[in-house]
Amino acid sequence: MKNKEYIVLMADIIDSRNANQNDLMFKFKELTAEVNRTHKKDILSPMTITLGDEFQGLLKNISAAINLILELEEKLMMNNAGFKLRYVLYEGKIDTPINTEIAYGMLGEALTKAREALENTKSTNNRFYFNLKKQHAAEALNNSISIFQNITDDWKLDTDQELISSFLTWKDYKIVAAKLGKTRSQIWKRHKNLKIEPYFAIKQVTQYIAAQV
């Protein structure tokens, strides 16, 4: 419907010029296609790669958008993709009909402002920026996702990818210790140092806030 409020999600690859372009694009396309499949019921216009290292799409609601972002983050870490994404979530109007097949050919404030915000975010250390009609909710989400980023950006995937992936899969350090053939004491220390409990706590808080908007 014309002039209805929509949830736009845009993301781009950070420092994409410094990576192997063929490998990068293969992983990016694969990742985008996968979340389009797993979140199909929550998507109005699929995540579509627009400028090579960037995608955009429309979600049905804020909760769906946050869940998709969190899934993208975990997939990137579990697969040790070798790159990070920068995200903008913007709620606003779209003046043209919604393209449900591919996120092209649409115009409106939400898309224009989202692109401006994505460009502006490049000059900061923040990988996430949410602009919603409910400003208090946006502030809460920006604060919670900042804690999420603070934890995950400290993880060293080059050396700890298997361990981190195991924690994300099984959560319980006792199960992880058994799966990796390590002592519980060894894995508990890493569990604590990597802030796995705070990670799952702030993830849950972020999802809860998004579900209330």
Q: What CATH number does the domain containing 117 carry?
A: 3.30.70.1230
* Shared domain check, 162 and 105: no
| pTM for this model (two decimals) | 0.94
* Shared domain check, 101 and 24: yes
Q: How many domains does the chain have?
A: 2
* Shared domain check, 126 and 37: yes
* Shared domain check, 18 and 109: yes
Residue 146 lies in a domain: no
* Shared domain check, 165 and 123: no
Q: What is the extent of the structural domain holding 179?
A: 157-194
* Shared domain check, 161 and 78: no
Neighbours of 26 (CB within 10 A): 11
> Residue 1: what pLDDT?
45
* Shared domain check, 62 and 21: yes
* Shared domain check, 126 and 68: yes
* Shared domain check, 26 and 100: yes
> Residue 19: what pLDDT?
61
* Shared domain check, 14 and 65: yes
Residue 150 lies in a domain: no
> Residue 51: what pLDDT?
79
Which residue positions in the chain have pLDDT lower than 70? Answer: 1-3, 17-19
> Residue 17: what pLDDT?
66
What lies within 8 Å, CB to CB, of 48 at 6+ separation is: 32, 55, 56, 57, 102, 103, 104
> Residue 101: what pLDDT?
95
> Residue 3: what pLDDT?
55
* Shared domain check, 168 and 84: no
* Shared domain check, 74 and 114: yes
